[in-house]
Amino acid sequence: MYSVREISPQIYWIGGNDRRLEQFENLFPLTNGVSYNSYLILDEKTAIVDTVDDAITDQYLENIEHLMQGRELDYLIINHMEPDHCGNIENLVRRYPNVKVVGNNKSFQLFEQFYNMDITKNQMIVGEGDELNLGKHNLRFICAPMVHWPEVMMNFETTTGILFSADAFGTFGALAGNIFDDEVDYKGLYLDEARRYYANIVGKFGAQVQSVFRKIGSYDIKMICSLHGPIFRKDLKLILDLYDKWSRYEAEKEGVVIFYGTMYGNTANTADALANKLAERGVQDIRVYDVSKTHASYIISDIWKYSHLVAAAPTYNMGLYYPMDNLLHEMIALGVKNRKVSIIGNHSWASAANKLMTERFACMKNMEIIGNTFDLKSRLKDSQENMLDELADAIAASVLKKSE
């Protein structure tokens, strides 16, 4: 059975959902699936904007067959050549052998790398500012390299103000019939997952996101159609403002994320005691995570959200406790910056964690150390409470001063 929705006269959502996939990119846990969005424009000419992952091919082809009613497909626009959106290019070229596949040089280079089909005769190469007229509708191409791969493009439909934005403004989480932001509780259902998606998938490329903002700043955008998650037609400002903040690596909120590694609970005990002391000093909305338990993508998401971070971990094999080391390496790879950081090490006979955590944070830009970094010997004793009080004072003062 087909499952499509009209999003504007002659323009349809023809995507689908995968709720079976355990991990996006085989890396990021999906608790409520993911949607792969694709769009069909039925004008004097017909055009599809991006395809879908091959996990939902049957549904996808049924959707297209239902709407096309035997018409020819004139254009297949490839805004993003990552396989979660390209799984059906070959199928569509087989079904519509005369279709013009619209992309840039990089898109076709990647197509050749990923697939075996020769589509040279179908290629239509476009670049920045080119336009494709379909009859009433007119698509302008905007190059958006590295948001999230080098070939990425967006399209601005100049008569309706629809921005087809590729991965940008997308989110984890399947759709449930309601495909528009005003049909769902976006903040309740999707916002945290949109941040997790941004931070982990696009987070490294903040400068490139800013560059796209400079290109589309003067456009009168009425609707944003991403490749994942709800379409924005009501509160576009919400996601545009957040993307601006996220891509500048600015915290959304003053608040503290404490993430710790612990073998026998002693470092966890210190982290909890610190959280308690921060709460007593008036700090709200504190987050505490065990890096061995919570998938790094969720911690990274809160690192993007909050202003202050506390890392606490033991020495392990004369190095840093592995899950903490992995998390800090991910933060470096994603280009995390502009945060206030506090560090607590732990060791029983030889100390390395403290020094290594300090070195890792030094690899990130504009990370200001708050309070005295200290190194526990196996566990925090009541007699050492003053050390924790001093750290809590310093963090709370910094958070509360900024919140005023």
Residue 84 interacts with ligand FEO (CB under 6 A)? yes
* Contact string 356-375 vs ligand FEO (x = CB under 6 A): --------------------
Q: Which of 85, 196, 277, 339 binds ligand FEO (CB under 6 A)?
A: 85
Residue 305 CA, chain-centre distance (Å), reads 13
Beta strand 11-13 with 5-8 is: antiparallel
Q: Which of 18, 82, 151, 181 binds ligand FEO (CB under 6 A)?
A: 82
Q: Which is nearer to ligand FEO, 53 or 254 (CB)?
A: 53
Distances, alpha carbon 279 to alpha carbons 257, 288, 340, in Å:
13, 12, 18
Residue 348 and residue 331: Cα distance in Å, rounded?
Answer: 27
Residue 99 CA, chain-centre distance (Å), reads 32
Question: Which of helix, strand or coil describes residue 38?
Answer: coil
Residue 148 interacts with ligand FEO (CB under 6 A)? yes
Residue 196 interacts with ligand FEO (CB under 6 A)? no
Residue 275 interacts with ligand FEO (CB under 6 A)? no
Stretch that binds ligand FEO, among 56-64, 77-85, 261-269, 288-296 (CB under 6 A): 77-85
Please give the torsion angle defined by the CA atoms of residues 173, 178, 184 and 187, in that order, rounded to the nearest 10 degrees.
Answer: 30
Stretch that binds ligand FEO, among 81-89, 251-259, 342-350, 382-390 (CB under 6 A): 81-89
Residue 227 interacts with ligand FEO (CB under 6 A)? yes
Stretch that binds ligand FEO, among 76-84, 133-141, 178-186, 216-224 (CB under 6 A): 76-84
* Phi, psi torsion values for 123, nearest 5 degrees: -65, 135
Residue 151 interacts with ligand FEO (CB under 6 A)? no
- For 23, the token pair is 């991990």
- For 186, the token pair is 């976006």
Contact (Cβ atoms closer than 8 angstroms) between residue 363 and residue 332: yes
Taking phi over 0 as left and psi of -120 to 50 as alpha, with beta for the rest, 291 belongs to alpha
Closest distance to ligand FEO from the beta carbon of 110 (Å): 11
Residue 193 interacts with ligand FEO (CB under 6 A)? no
Closest distance to ligand FEO from the beta carbon of 228 (Å): 6
Residue nearest to ligand FEO (CB): 82
- For 362, the token pair is 């030094």
**Given the rule CB under 6 A, which residues bind ligand FEO?**
80, 82, 84-85, 148-149, 167, 227-228
